[in-house]
């Protein structure tokens, strides 16, 4: 008997034997094609729980992927903690425009990290809207599909509050100030992670793009990112924990596994076969179809071919390697789905 989408994704995350790997979007999943098909649009769906749940189900309802997922950006936490955020447009996610705290390694000037109490954080702003959106998604789709909820990792969130560039400079010039901020934001990240699980998410997918090897050298990862991911994500109860980091994560795959998370979401900059070999079933491996090439710029034939490569390499879940551009066509995404579902 064939597995249902929910059964298949859960089995994949447990690294169990499968009839075939599932195909799902674990990172940002919305596109204009889905918005037009469903009649819900950004930026409304970033803060309206009903619209969020409807669009979050779009990857399954419109395109045939095997999971559902919300929200659609990495600014909800930062905005409620004081960042100025451009809400974006139908084809563009929200963006951080202004950091609320001073953190200047060149001048030696640092604000104290007076961060909102985690209990208060969960009750207001867009984080509360996301929690309600996840509850609705679970109620409406949770019987048939795994519900994935996304949030922001401690290093990335701290960078949103004080500027990522300054935070990275601070590692070399004032590491104690960097650690002070990471210790301050981690309780919020941890509380939000658990609240998403309590709201009904089967999977918490934490994004830590600022921990990429483009910004942090591998020997910095454990102290400034990995230890805080372990404290805020890996310990979640009643949900799988998936860590996503952008860029070429080949040098830090073992470090990512050492955080204790259930799975890793990685980009196409990691060779598929090498990634499978290095991870070696120590965590579920999710990815790593390029979101620019082939998904945005390629043809359906390109997307089909890349899907077959990643499937045959042995990924536990075949998925886009990072968040989708809203401009990716339905045809390209459906070709990826077909590539995985074909015998």
pLDDT digits (tens, 9 = 90+) for 98-132: 999 999 999 999 999 999 999 999 999 999 999 99
Sign of torsion over alpha carbons 132, 134, 135, 141: positive
Q: Is the peptide bond before 181 cis (omega within 30 degrees of 0)?
A: no
pLDDT of residue 1: 66
Distance CA 302, CA 295 (A): 8
pLDDT of residue 89: 97
Q: Please, are residues 272 and 306 in contact by the beta-carbon 8 Å criterion? A: no
pLDDT of residue 2: 83
pLDDT of residue 32: 98
Question: What is residue 150's DSSP assignment?
Answer: E
Distance CA 319, CA 65 (A): 9
Helix 175-198 to helix 154-162 angle (10° resolution) is 120
Question: What is residue 331's DSSP assignment?
Answer: H
Distance CA 252, CA 222 (A): 9
3-state helix, strand, coil in the chain (%, to 5): 50, 15, 35
Q: What are phi and psi of 67, to 5 degrees?
A: -155, 170
- CA dist 4 to 22, 143, 333, 336, Å? 10, 10, 20, 19
HSE-up (13 A, CA, CB side) for residue 155: 27
HSE-up (13 A, CA, CB side) for residue 39: 1
Supply the DSSP string of 86-142, one letter for each residue.
E--BTTB--EEEE-SS-EETTTTEE----PPPHHHHTTSHHHHHHHHHHHHHHHHHT
Distance CA 182, CA 94 (A): 23
Q: What are phi and psi of 223, to 5 degrees?
A: -75, -40
pLDDT (tens digit, 0 to 9) for every residue of the chain, 343 residues total? 689 999 999 999 999 999 899 999 999 999 999 999 999 999 999 999 999 999 999 999 999 999 999 999 999 999 999 999 999 999 999 999 999 999 999 999 999 999 999 999 999 999 999 999 999 999 999 999 999 999 999 999 999 999 999 999 999 999 999 999 999 999 999 999 999 999 999 999 999 999 999 999 999 999 999 999 999 999 999 999 999 999 999 999 999 999 999 999 999 999 999 999 999 999 999 999 999 999 999 999 999 999 999 999 999 999 999 999 999 999 999 999 999 999 8
Q: Is the peptide bond before 247 cis (omega within 30 degrees of 0)?
A: no
pLDDT digits (tens, 9 = 90+) for 87-100: 999 999 999 999 99
- CA dist 234 to 59, 69, 85, 222, 265, Å? 26, 19, 28, 14, 14
The SS3 call for residue 176 is helix
Distance CA 159, CA 140 (A): 35
Q: Please, are residues 72 and 93 in contact by the beta-carbon 8 Å criterion? A: yes
Model pTM above 0.75: yes
Distance CA 230, CA 241 (A): 10
């Amino acid at each position: 008997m064939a597995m249902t989408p929910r059964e298949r994704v859960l089995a994949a995350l447990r690294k169990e034997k499968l009839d075939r790997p599932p195909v799902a979007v674990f990172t940002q999943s919305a596109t204009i094609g889905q918005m037009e098909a469903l009649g819900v649009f950004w930026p409304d769906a970033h803060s309206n729980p009903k619209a969020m749940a409807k669009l979050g189900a779009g990857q399954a309802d419109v395109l045939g992927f095997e999971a559902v997922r919300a929200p659609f950006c990495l600014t909800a936490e930062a905005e409620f903690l004081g960042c100025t955020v451009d809400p974006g447009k139908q084809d563009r996610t929200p963006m951080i425009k202004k950091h609320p705290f001073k953190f200047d390694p060149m001048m030696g000037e640092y604000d104290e990290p007076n961060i909102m109490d985690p209990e208060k954080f969960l009750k207001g702003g867009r984080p509360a809207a996301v929690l309600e959106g996840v509850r609705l998604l679970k109620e409406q789709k949770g019987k048939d599909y795994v519900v994935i909820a996304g949030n922001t990792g401690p290093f990335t969130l701290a960078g949103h509050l004080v500027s990522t560039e300054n935070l990275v400079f601070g590692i070399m010039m004032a590491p104690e100030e960097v650690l002070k901020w990471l210790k301050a934001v981690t309780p919020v990240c941890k509380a939000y992670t658990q609240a998403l699980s309590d709201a009904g998410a089967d999977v918490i997918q934490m994004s830590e793009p600022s921990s990429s090897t483009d910004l942090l050298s591998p020997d910095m990862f454990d102290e400034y990112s990995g230890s805080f991911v372990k404290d805020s994500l890996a310990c979640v109860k009643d949900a799988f924990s998936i860590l996503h980091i952008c860029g070429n994560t080949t040098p830090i795959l073992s470090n990512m596994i050492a955080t204790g998370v259930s799975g890793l979401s990685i980009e196409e900059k990691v060779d598929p076969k090498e990634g499978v070999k290095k991870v070696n079933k120590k965590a579920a491996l999710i990815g790593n179809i390029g979101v620019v090439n082939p998904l945005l710029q390629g043809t359906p034939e390109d997307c089909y071919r890349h899907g077959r490569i990643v499937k045959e390499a042995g990924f536990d879940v075949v998925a886009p390697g990072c968040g989708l551009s809203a401009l990716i066509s339905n045809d390209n995404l459906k070709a990826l789905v077909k590539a995985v579902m074909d015998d």
